[in-house]
A and B are shown apart, each in its own frame.
Chain A
Amino acid sequence: MASDAEPLVLKSPTLRWIEHRLPIIGFGYQHLVAYQTPRNLNYWWNFGSLAGICLMIQIVTGIVLAMHYTPHVAHAFDSVEHIMRDVNWGWFLRYAHANGASMFFIVVYIHIFRGLYYGSYKPPRELLWMLGVVILLLMMATAFMGYVLPWGQMSFWGATVITNLFSAVPFFGEAIVTWLWGGFAVDNPTLNRFFSLHYLLPFVIVGVVFLHLVALHTHGSNNPVGIDLTKKDKIPFHPYYTIKDLFGLSVFFLFFGSFLFFAPNVLGHPDNYIPANPLVTPPHIVPEWYFLPFYAILRAITFDILFIPAKLGGVIAMFASIGVLFFLPWLDKSKVRSARFRPIYKIFFWLLVLDCFILGYVGANPPEGWLVPLGQVATFWYFAHFLIVLPLLSKLERPLPVPESLSTPVLGRGMAAAPAE
């Protein structure tokens, strides 16, 4: 089964001349062609390359949109309408960028949950995982600032609410917020700096993605069985996974296209087609769908915790919901990576997925009635999963027998033992 790619042979003297001085052809060959990949990867492993493609789509469409957009409070909204109506294919480029952001988050969330299910954050891939969390944070900042640029009502009030999170910081809160705004409210200086940073951050993401890939290629991909594979259970990336990723990409494009061409506004909020008005707040402020679970966590803390006021508590909880992911490799100490061999973890994994959907639902609706306690329970469960359930499972759960390699079947139940590294 296992096979190696042909070694790289450069026939052209020109290419050999270049390669001798600048070995980029060999580098590309090593990492995109010959790279040894587990032979048992399932379709959940498509989402890493899909995320990379999403990032490229966002950068390319974004650079093009910046050619027509004007980051000024008096012109921003109109320049977006100009893109929609006047610029050749402008509607396509803007809808591709706006829906592309949603697609990027869908892909990345699936990628993250795949990592959670198959234990891809466990040694020796802790830094790979943590770099991924950094990418998520950068994506969130980029997406937030991008949503401000059209300067509609949701842009303006989203920017106001999110920047005001920092006013919860003790002592320096007001000063920080004034510094973020460049004034005493969200206004033209804010819009200008958000545009600048929205253009910058994707390239920072590209840099971190590169580190993510360096870390990935150091120990290779994890796999659905979660064991360390020997060479005979690996196959070259090309053609096996290039073609599989391309097939996944075409299916993804069908999904993306169904939004782009048939429901381009269904993931957005109609209030953002009302120009920003600093004198009127819309009756119900919601962030984009991909922030809803975090928004629910922010609003769940309605009570003071010891000396921490509710406002600060909500902000801390929201940031901690991402921050806790950095510690995941040390919270889940189970030696078995894949949930396939962890019957109890598997249940809790799906409970966490359900919990995130509940948080999303709570975040999408006004904080009234039974949704308030539901949001609080779901928030508690989110943190309990990472801080209580995972450490306990590491000690108490008895994993199923794990095979030694992909080709050797598991012999009897008595062999149950988590293989060490």
Chain B
Amino acid sequence: MADTTAPVQTAEGGKRRDFLELVTWSTVAIGTAAMVWPLVHQMNPSADVLALASTEVDLSKIPEGSAIKVMWRGKPVFVRHRTAAEIAEAAAVPLSELRHPEPDSARVKKPEWLIMVGVCTHLGCIPLGTAAGEPKGEYGGWFCPCHGSHYDSSGRIRKGPAPLNLPIPDYTFLSDTLVRIG
């Protein structure tokens, strides 16, 4: 039987034992990672949750000047049918006045339809201003009652603690009156 206890030098100076240790611990590391990954990944959204990840909205029921909230991925999405005056007002704001500079044109696909995730970028409350009669804040958009953030008619942050504009989800116009969010 070969003597496996004597160190066998290779040309590069490595020993057989070094190689065995490397292979063993690599296998242990890969095996452990393979067993831990399912334990971590199981907490990510499951297939049935992902299957409900998009939602369709009928725009024909939203008169000009009003807005609705729809549920999308467990969060509210604001869909606002803006008036010509609101569009003009949003477009006229110089970018230098904005904390999070974005032109209004970059936030809409069709200027009359403003579609945003209605979650305040400060700490996650739902800003007021969608339903009729709710306070719209000092800039004619939305007002978050939790910590007093004001958003304008393009959903951009203008005043208060929130750092960013209300985010725009992916959406597609399937027809003039039907939009798919997500």
Contacts and interface: CB of A to CB of B under 8 A. Distances in A.
A88 B48 contact: no
Interface stretch (A89-97, A223-231, A282-290): A89-97
Contacts of B47: 85-88
Between A61, A86, A87, A253, the greatest number of chain B beta carbons within 10 A of the residue's beta carbon is seen for: A87
Contact of A86 (B31, B38, B43, B46): B46
A195 B38 CA distance: 23
A283 to B, nearest CB: 34
A88 B42 CA distance: 5
B44 interface: yes
Interface in A64-108: 64, 67-68, 82, 85-90, 92-93
Contacts of A60: 39
B61 interface: no
A90 B48 contact: no
B110 interface: no
Interface residues of B, number: 12
Contacts of A92: 38
A93 B41 CA distance: 11
A261 to B, nearest CB: 12
A247 to B, nearest CB: 10
A82 B48 contact: yes
Contacts of A89: 37-38, 41-42
| Chain A contact residues, majority secondary structure | helix
Contacts of B43: 67
| Chain B contact residues, majority secondary structure | helix
A90 B38 CA distance: 8
A88 B43 CA distance: 8
A305 to B, nearest CB: 51
A93 B36 CA distance: 11
B39 A88 contact: no
A85 B48 CA distance: 9
B133 to A, nearest CB: 40
B39 A87 contact: no
Contacts of B31: 253
Nearest to B41: A88
Nearest to A87: B46
B42 A67 contact: yes
Given A68-B46, A86-B48, 10 more contacts: A61-B39, A67-B42, A86-B49, A88-B44, A88-B47, A89-B41, A90-B46, A92-B38, A93-B39, A253-B31
| Pairs of residues from A and B, 6 with the lowest C-beta to C-beta distance, nearest first | A89-B38, A86-B47, A86-B46, A86-B48, A88-B41, A87-B46
Interface of B: 31, 37-39, 41-44, 46-49
Interface of A: 60-61, 64, 67-68, 82, 85-90, 92-93, 253
30 contacts: A60-B39, A61-B39, A64-B39, A64-B42, A67-B42, A67-B43, A68-B42, A68-B46, A82-B46, A85-B47, A86-B46, A86-B48, A86-B49, A87-B42, A87-B46, A87-B47, A88-B41, A88-B42, A88-B44, A88-B46, A88-B47, A89-B37, A89-B42, A90-B42, A90-B46, A92-B38, A93-B38, A93-B39, A93-B42, A253-B31
